[in-house]
Each structure stands twice: as C-alpha cells, then as structure tokens.
Amino acid sequence: MIRRVPSETITITSQGSGFVLDFDEKHDNGYNPRYSITTDMNGVAVKPIYANGANVDAEWRVTRQGPKKFTMELSTSFGGWKDEYEVSRDSTTMTMHRHLVPGRVVAMGREGQPVQDIFLFDKVK
C-alpha cells in the first residue's frame, strides 16, 4: 500500500552562509514527523534530525542548481530518491519532482518501479 502525505510544510531559512530546511509532515494516521537539516547547498552529505533531537536514518545531499532551483538526494537503509525543487518566477509556488531509485524503495510499495511524483507547495503569507 502506498501512503501519501496529505500535508507537508517546508520552511527554508538562511543562516549565515548556509540554510536550515525544516520539514513538518501530517499523515492521515496521526503520524506527524518533524525534522530539519542544515546545509550549505553545495552537495555535502548531512544527516536530518527529528524535532525531538533523535537522528533520522538517512543521509541527504542538497545542491543548488540556480537562484530558484536545488536538488536533494536522499539515501536511507530502505532506499533512495532524488527530489528536484524549483521556485516559480513570482516566488509563490515551489514544485518538487521526486524520482525514486528503481528497485530500492521497498517501504513505499514501489519496488522495481521507476516512478516520478510531483508535489506543489504554496508560499504561506
């Protein structure tokens, strides 16, 4: 069974020469993971940390592709994927294209399937 995230908020804050990306997901079953990473967006591997301080079983590499574009490659013990983010010209919408690594994302119910998901995020005013 594939579980979708019905609600997710991503907050990107500049911090010195780097950025903090905070994630807040809300699932239908009541699960509400909140975690963050600090990155320079130069492709250096970073480990996410849950809001309660616990480590996440993952390694992420965030790379800036342009003023309004970046990629995030995620690797976990159950698979990996690559997210491509792009902010609209008017900075009101961010689109994310998720490319799953075929044969590795078993926990999401998609083993062996080359799948691409598209997520749209609206800017909170």
Rounded to 5°, angle at Cα 122 from 98 and 34:
65
Q: Where are the beta strands (DSSP E) in the chain?
A: 7-15, 18-26, 34-39, 42-46, 49-50, 58-66, 69-76, 79-87, 93-100, 116-122
CB 47 within 8 A of CB 55: yes
52: tokens are 């309660």
How do beta strands 7-15 and 18-26 pair? antiparallel
Q: What is the pLDDT of residues 14-49, one digit of tens each?
A: 999 999 999 998 888 888 889 999 999 999 999 999
Q: Which residue has the tokens 């013990």?
A: 77
What three-state secondary structure class fits 106? helix
Q: What is the pLDDT of residues 53-90, one digit of tens each?
A: 988 888 999 999 999 999 999 988 777 888 999 999 99
Task: Please count the residues of the chain.
Answer: 125
Which CATH code, of 2.40.128, 2.50.20, 2.60.40, 3.30.1460, is assigned to 7-122? 2.40.128
Domain boundaries, the chain: 7-122
Q: What is the pLDDT of residues 86-102, one digit of tens each?
A: 999 999 989 988 887 65
